Amino acid sequence: MAASWFSGQYVLSVVVLFLLLSSFPSSFDKVSCTEEDEMLPRIGIIGAGLSGTSSAYFLRQLFGKKATIDIFEAGKVGGRAAVININGLNYEAGASVIHKNNHYLVEFSQAFRKNTVRLSHSPGMVGLYGTDDILFQTSDWLAITLAKLVWRYGTDFYNIQSWTKNHIFPKFDRIYKFQDQGLSFTTVEDLLGAMGEDMLNMTKHSIKDVLLDAGLSQRFVDEFGMAAMRNNYGQTTDVHGFVGAVSMAGVEPGLWSVEGGNQRIAENLLWGSKATLVEAKVSTVALIKDELGTGSVSYEVEYEQSGKTNSREYDILILAMPLEGTKNEINFVDFPVKVTPFSQPFHKIVTMFVQGRINKTTFGLNSADDFPPDLFTINRDTFFNSIGKQSPVDSHQKPEKSPPSDYAVWKTFLNQVPSEEQVGKLFDKYEDLRFVDWMAYPEYKPNMDLPPFMLYDRLYYVNAIESAAAAMEMNVIGSKNVALLAFNQWQGNFDKIDELHLPSVSNDKSDL
Ligand SMILES: Cc1cc2nc3c(=O)[nH]c(=O)nc-3n(C[C@H](O)[C@H](O)[C@H](O)COP(=O)(O)OP(=O)(O)OC[C@H]3O[C@@H](n4cnc5c(N)ncnc54)[C@H](O)[C@@H]3O)c2cc1C
């Protein structure tokens, strides 16, 4: 940290020099402009998913149009937001739904309105699958659904919505406010603590305990709570309370996605940032300059492109991809300390797509048409987590061939690739069987390691935020934090790092 302070002083003295020089006429102007440009960092970003592209977008806003911003991508722009093509139509294969309260994603969809048409997801019929049958199902009729919910769960459904509304969303509003004011945090603990001490505390308890403490019934937690964790994170109500709360927020109505696929948000952010995309896999990050006490560091990024190894040098480096659970591991060399001293095992998720017909016998139904569009499982031992009927993301595409009239496209979430027999249990007739494997999100548990956002001087890790919760909006909150942190350290704005003393924020008493 001390090193960065010195660089802040350096920046300040150059600014003073610039001001002095700019008061002289003509011939000095050119010199001062060059010096101003020299003060701009060369920024490298590894990963062009939502985290990397939104980092580029925010960094451009902060550092201005002349800063060099390169973004490396080994696969496709969008990363875990990706589509799969079945019979000529695209479907969301990774991150599929966005919540109406996701401030940044809503903002991006408005900024790139022309390219980001929002598709709303109206809640259809939902079922819960117990040990070997559908034990609860909503109805097409709202009044009947409400009566069934009250019969089975009392006022729990109302209570969970008011819990997220009164206890969770206001805490997110706080972090948005902090970020609007340019405040940044070096660790996930500090960021969660700034949202509210109870947010940090939730990472120390299971969501099961958090929900029971909030007054929800054991039955609701074991059924709806479990269904949400299995569907959203492939895990159970043993996950920690913060990620569990993010997952429960999906119970609220008002979910949407982007026409053409959610990866479009990343594509638009990349375009909007005017960053240079380098389509290459980064293999090594080397610390090549580390002048103790001056804050002057630089990193050499080695990458593989068209069979050749190239390298580029940066003053600020942003890791916008999970360091664990990736097949594109990066070697960190010539650092005096280990920069990744944390272990964050990732949870594998398989998404299975079929075009086919539900096996009514397995689900005890008279007709496959009685199957709810979304079915969630609640038992740890059930081999699938959820099944959902899919709509294509693009209204302009046409199917390649007409499927049988009783077929639909179904997406099933599982923790491992199923056997043929298991597929047959779910679908009695099918074609286009496809699997997508994801190293999806961290394995969550109470008191797990929360990695820092800052791994070394001017080396930042956006995906540290995933230890709190992996979700597109969470990753964007992480990238905004890292962009502000990099900017504040570069500019010497140390009062905006890990500090909460801005008057308009500290006087805010809303729901604390
Ligand atoms: C199946 C599934 C369903 C999900 N559903 C939802 C949902 O409904 N709603 C929601 O909000 N979130 C959802 N998520 C979570 C969401 O996808 C993530 O939180 C978010 O997309 C993470 O974005 P990211 O940019 O941090 O990471 P990624 O999207 O993983 O991007 C990282 C990028 O870095 C690249 N990369 C990695 N290593 C290197 C290297 N060495 N060199 C160059 N490039 C590299 C990768 O190719 C990748 O493109 C889901 C995730 C999964 C897997």
Q: Cα of 263 to ligand 1 centre, how many Å?
A: 10
What residues are paired with 83 via a beta bridge?
92
Confidence (pLDDT) at 12: 32
Q: What are 469's two structure tokens?
A: 């919760």
Claim to verify: residue 3 and residue 151 sit in the same structural domain: no
For residue 35, the enclosing domain spans: 1-39
Out of 442, 475, 494, a domain closes at 442
Please give the distance, rounded to the nearest whole angstrom, from the Cα atom of residue 475 to the centre of ligand 1. 9
Residue nearest to atom 12 of ligand 1 (CA): 471
pLDDT-derived band at 34 (thresholds 50, 70, 90) equals low
Query: Would the pLDDT of 439 be above 50?
Result: yes
Is 48 within the bounds of a domain? no
Q: Cα(251) to centroid of ligand 1, in Å?
A: 22
pLDDT tens digits for 374-398?
Answer: 999 999 999 999 999 999 999 888 8
Residue 229 sits in the same domain as residue 135: yes
Residue 234 and residue 94 in one domain = yes
Count of CB atoms situated within 10 Å of the CB of 290: 17
User: Is there a domain that residue 111 lies in?
Assistant: yes
Q: What is the pLDDT of residue 9?
A: 33
Whether 16 and 157 map to the same domain: the answer is no
What confidence tier does 512 reach under pLDDT thresholds 50, 70, 90?
Answer: very low
CA of 79 to the centre of ligand 1 (A): 5
Q: Among 472, 479, 480, 482, which is best to mutate for testing ligand 1, by the most ligand atoms less than 8 A from CB? A: 472
Q: Report the share of the chain in percent with pLDDT over 90.
A: 74
Residue 218 lies in a domain: yes
Tokens found for residue 302: 């080695």
Whether residue 2 is predicted with pLDDT greater than 50 in this model: the reply is no
Q: Point out the domain boundary residue: 392, 419, 442.
A: 442
One domain for residues 420 and 355: yes
The span from the CA of 256 to the CA of 264, in Å, is: 14
User: Does residue 93 sit in the same domain as residue 32?
Assistant: no
Mark whether 256 and 369 lie in a shared domain. yes
Is 337 or 37 the better-scoring residue by pLDDT? 337
User: Mean of the pLDDT values across residues 284-313?
Assistant: 88
Indicate which residue's Cα is closest to atom 19 of ligand 1: 471
First to last CA, the chain: 31
| pLDDT attached to residue 119 | 76
Residue 134 and residue 19 in one domain: no
Whether residue 157 is found in the same domain as residue 221: yes
Q: CA-CA distance, 145 to 157, in Å (whole number)?
A: 11
Residue 454 lies in a domain: no
Burial of 222 (0-12, 13-18, 19+ CB in 10 A): middle
pLDDT digits (tens, 9 = 90+) for 55-91: 999 999 999 999 999 999 999 999 999 999 999 999 9
**93 shares its domain with 24:** no
Q: Is 46 helix (H, G, I), strand (E, B) or coil?
A: strand
Q: What is the pLDDT of residue 504?
A: 46
Instruction: Specify the ligand 1 atom closest to the Cα of 47.
Output: 34
Statement: residue 121 has pLDDT above 80: no
Same domain for 355 and 429: yes
Q: Is residue 30 a part of any domain in this protein?
A: yes
Cα separation of 467 and 447, whole Å? 10
pLDDT in tens, 193-202: 999 999 999 9
Tens of pLDDT, residues 468-478? 999 999 999 99
pLDDT tens digits for 309-325? 999 999 999 999 999 87
Please tell me the total count of domains within the chain. Answer: 2
Among 72, 76, 80, the mutation site with the greatest number of ligand 1 atoms within 8 A of its Cβ is: 80
The mean of the pLDDT values for the chain is: 88
Residue 405 covered by a domain: yes
pLDDT > 70 fraction of the chain, expressed in percent and rounded: 88
pLDDT score for 36: 61
Res 501: pLDDT: 57
Nearest-atom number in ligand 1 for the CA of 280 is: 43
Q: Which of 257, 284, 211 is nearest to 94 (CA)?
A: 257
Q: Give tens-digit pLDDT for 131-150.
A: 888 999 999 898 999 999 99
Residue 47 lies in a domain: no
The minimum-distance atom of ligand 1 relative to the CA of 93 is 1
Q: Are residues 103 and 26 in the same domain?
A: no
CATH code, 210 = 3.90.660.10
The residue among 401, 422, 442 that closes a domain is: 442
In a domain, 366, yes or no: yes
Residue of minimum CA distance from atom 51 in ligand 1: 95
Task: Assess whether pLDDT exceeds 90 at residue 254.
Answer: no
CA 142 to chain centre: 32
Residue 94 Cα to ligand 1 middle (Å)? 8
